[in-house]
Amino acid sequence: MEIKPDTNVAEALRMSKNVVEVFKKYNLDCITCKGVVEETIEKAAFHNGLTLDVFLKDLNDALK
């Protein structure tokens, strides 16, 4: 199991409760956002001013 840039945010959030904690760490409201089903990890990072590589590393580390 790996989270990639094109992984849907809703799908990533379902992978582990630890992933939810990473979103909270970055103060992302994706959990309650209406666009959570259409948004990808890449788009979420871009729209929130996050460095994609760092965000992906944190998300994938949370899956371990």
CA distance 59 to 64: 9
* Domain residue ranges in the chain: 9-62
pLDDT for res 40? 95
pLDDT for res 33? 74
pLDDT for res 36? 77
Is 19 exposed, middle or buried (CB count within 10 Å of its CB: 0-12, 13-18, 19+)? Answer: buried
Measured in degrees and rounded to the nearest 5, phi and psi for residue 8 equal -65, 140
Measured between alpha carbons, how far is residue 26 from residues 31, 35, 50, 51 in Å? 12, 17, 9, 11
Q: Which amino acid is at 16?
A: S
Q: pLDDT digits over 6-60, tens only?
A: 999 999 999 999 999 999 999 997 777 777 788 999 999 999 999 999 999 999 9
